[in-house]
Structure 1
Amino acid sequence: MSALWLEFILILCFYGTAWTDADVEGVVRKHVGQSVTIQCRSTSNQETLNLKKGLHEERDIFYATVHSDKRTIDSKFTDRLQYHEKFPNVEILIKNLTLNDTGPYWCVYKTIENYGQKITKGSGSVLLVVTEKPSTVVVRECQPPQNDMVLWAVVIAAAVLILILSIPLIMMILKTKPSHNTVKRRQQVPVNDVYEDMRGTIRR
C-alpha cells in the first residue's frame, strides 16, 4: 500500500512541476533489475545536456557538451549507465534498476544566447517508478486421473450400492421362511391314524 501512495504522490508532484515547463513523456514503470531508456531530444542547437533527477533537479546523473567528447556520469550510475548520442539527441540507458532509482528524470539543455545562458527542458523527461518483482506463484496443472482408478472407483461404488439395497431384501426373506421345528412337528403327526382306528373297529 505504501508503494502505491509513494507512486501517487510522485505523479502529482511531477506533473504539478513539469506540466507547463517540459514536454513530459509520462510515467515509466519498471521492476527491480530491469532497464529503462530515457531519450532526451531537442529541436534547436544546444551547448550542453544535463540529465537531472529529483523534483527540484538536485542531482546530475549525466552531463554532455557539444564542444567536448568527455561525458560525466554520477558515481552511483557509472557501472549501470550507457549512452548513445548524436548531440543534442542522446539516448541514455540505465540498467539494473533499484528502488532508489524511483523519481523524475529531466532532460535539461543549456545554450548561450546574447551573452547569456538559456536553460530549456527538452523532450524525454519521465517519472520512473521502480517496484519489487511480483512474487512468482507456481501453478501446477491438475492431471486427469488414470482410467484404471476411475474404473475401480465405479466398481466399488456399485458394489456398495448393491449391498445396501440387498440388506432389506435378505431381512424380508428371513422373516417369511418357516422355522425348522415347525416342519418337524408336522412330519411327526401321523396322517392315517383315523383310518386305521376305523379299520380296526370293522375287523372286530
Structure 2
Amino acid sequence: MVMSLLRSLLLFYFSFNELTTAAEAILWVKTEEKFTMKCSTTLKDQEGMYLYVGLDRDMEVLYYHQNSSKLTPRKRYWDRVKTEGPVDQLTITISNLTIEDTGVYWCVYTKFNEAMYENDINQGRGSTLVVVNDNEKPCPSGVVNIIIISILTILLCVIFLIWVVSRVKRCFNQGGYTPQVFPDSVYEDMAKNQMYPPDTQQVESYPYSVSTKGGSRTTE
C-alpha cells in the first residue's frame, strides 16, 4: 500500500515537471543488482539510439548504432551494460547498481537528415525511473510514511494556491466593487428638506425652570 502510494505520487510529480516527460515505469532495485528496460519507437530507419539519465538528460549512458550493431557505453557504464534486439525494440540491462545510478533513464533516437544536414532527434518510449536502495541501510517504514505525507501535503498546498490565484485573477478580470456615488441632486434635496447628519441637526430647546421645593421640576 505504501509503495503504491509513493509510486502514484512520483508519477504525479513527473507528469507536472516541465523539464521532462512523465516516467512510464518505476523500478525499485537494490545495490549490486541489475535492472532491465526496453526502448522502442514506431519510426522507421532510425540509425542510432542514445540512452540518457537525469531529469533533463544530464548524463549520457550509451549509444547504439544500428547498421554496425555497435554498442558504445560511456566510461562509468563500460563493463555494466548489455543490449539485445534491434534498435527500434532494444532491451537494455545495467548491472552492479549503486546509489548514484538512481535517476530517470531516457531513450532518444537519431537519424541523419540529408536535406537539413543534421540529425533528427526523437523521443523514444520506455523512459524509466530507477530507484536504487542500499541493502545495509533500509529506509524504515515510518520514515517512508513521513515522506509520503510531506509530499502529499506539499502537493495539496500547491494545488490550493493555484486555485486561490485563479480565483483572484478572475475577480480582477470581472471587475471589483464600485463605490456607490450619489448625484448632486440628492444632496440638494436633502438640503431643501433640512436633512442634516445627526451631529449637525438643529435641536429646539424649551425654556424651563427648576424649583428646589419638594424636589420637583416645573417648566415655564
TM-score by length of 2: 0.51
Alignment of 1:65 with 2:77, yes or no, is: no
Q: Contact between 1:66 and 1:88, CA under 8 Å: does it hold in 2?
A: no
Deviation of 1:14 after TM superposition, in Å, equals: 3.8
Q: Contact between 2:14 and 2:20, CA under 8 Å: does it hold in 1?
A: no
Identity within the alignment, %: 30
Q: Secondary structure at the match of 1:55?
A: coil
Q: Contact between 2:108 and 2:122, CA under 8 Å: does it hold in 1?
A: yes
Q: How many equivalent pairs are there?
A: 130
CA RMSD, 1 decimal: 3.2
Gap regions ≥5 residues in structure 1: 1-6, 137-204
Specify the alignment match of 1:37 in structure 2: 36
Q: Secondary structure at the match of 2:69?
A: strand
Cα deviation 1:124-145 (Å, max 9, x = unaligned): 1101111112779xxxxxxxxx
Q: Contact between 2:80 and 2:95, CA under 8 Å: does it hold in 1?
A: yes
Specify the alignment match of 2:128 in structure 1: 126
Deviation of 1:13 after TM superposition, in Å, equals: 5.9
Q: Contact between 1:14 and 1:127, CA under 8 Å: does it hold in 2?
A: no
| Runs ≥4 residues deviating over 3 A | 7-22
Q: Contact between 1:41 and 1:124, CA under 8 Å: does it hold in 2?
A: yes
Specify the alignment match of 2:92 in structure 1: 92
Whole-Å separation in 2 of the counterparts to 1:129 and 1:135: 14
Alignment of 1:103 with 2:82, yes or no, is: no
Cα deviation 1:86-137 (Å, max 9, x = unaligned): 122211101111100000000111123443532211111101111112779x
Q: Secondary structure at the match of 1:92?
A: strand
Deviation of 1:60 after TM superposition, in Å, equals: 1.0
Are residues 63 and 89 of structure 1, via their aligned partners in 2, closer, same or farther at CA, if it must alter by over 3 Å?
Answer: same
Larger helix fraction of residues: 1
Specify the alignment match of 1:55 in structure 2: 55
Are residues 33 and 112 of structure 1, via their aligned partners in 2, closer, same or farther at CA, if it must alter by over 3 Å?
Answer: same
Q: Which amino acid aligns with 2:79?
A: D
Whole-Å separation in 1 of the counterparts to 2:8 and 2:32: 22
Q: Contact between 1:53 and 1:106, CA under 8 Å: does it hold in 2?
A: yes
Q: Contact between 2:19 and 2:55, CA under 8 Å: does it hold in 1?
A: no
Deviation of 1:81 after TM superposition, in Å, equals: 1.0
Cα deviation 1:34-75 (Å, max 9, x = unaligned): 110011011112121000011111211010122323221011
Larger Rg: 1
After superposition, where does 1:1-204 map in structure 2 within 5 Å? 14-17=14-17, 21=21, 24-45=23-44, 46-113=46-113, 114-115=115-116, 116-133=118-135
TM-score by length of 1: 0.54
- Give the number of the structure with larger relative contact order, counting CA–CA contacts within 8 Å between residues 6 or more apart: 1
